[in-house]
Copies of this chain bind each other. A is one copy, B any other.
Amino acid sequence: MDEFKTAVLALIESDESELNQLVSFCKTKNFKKNEVLSQPGKVPQEVFFIVKGILRVVVTDAKGVDHTIHFASENQFVADYSSFMLQQPGMYTLQALEPMEVVSMSRQAIDWGYQFMRQGDKFGRKVAEFYFLYQDNRVKNYYSRSPLERYELMETIFPQIHQRVPQHMIASYLGITPVHLSRLRKEH
């Protein structure tokens, strides 16, 4: 749990007593490669903090086709967060792409944090702001860069991504077909 505590302290001020109480609502979980951490249809009851490993977030469209919309790895918080907030059935599949170790923050943990931690709301604000920055940057790049430029940016957004994730999932993230990405790479 040390990495988890460190990540919390990077966002807000706290102390051992508060952190230990928070941790008492949390649980370490392990997943095998390809295992599913969260699936659509069920109301998500936890937010994950990744200690080790990498996962992808997938949305399945009306025709049953999967689209990779996000990657997350070490020291990041990740969840089907919209559905978690709204307490609605999930929309996304979270799938491990490597063996993973995560800290699961239950809804209880988060509610308790907002209510009783001195900077609970600030923690929520920081996490929400982080993801807003990520999404905003992504939207900006979508409008102002070509697919090839967006491909080349991926390494800066997700370090090591090319070493850890198959190319067809990157193509899916970019919104293009694997065949097309292969072509673009060839043409430089």
Contacts and interface: CB of A to CB of B under 8 A. Distances in A.
A61 B143 contact: yes
B139 A136 contact: no
A61 B141 CA distance: 9
Contacts of A60: 144
Interface string A138-158: 111011110000000000000
A162 interface: no
A138 B59 CA distance: 12
A85 interface: yes
B82 A133 contact: yes
A142 B85 contact: no
Question: At the interface, is chain A mostly helix, strand, loop or mixed?
Answer: helix
Contacts of A86: 133
Given A121-B125, A128-B125, A175-B143, A136 B59 contact: no
Interface in A119-139: 119, 121-122, 124-125, 128-129, 131-133, 135-139
Contacts of A128: 125, 128-129, 132
Contacts of A129: 85, 124, 128
Interface of A: 59-62, 67, 69, 81-82, 85-86, 91, 114, 119, 121-122, 124-125, 128-129, 131-133, 135-140, 142-145, 175
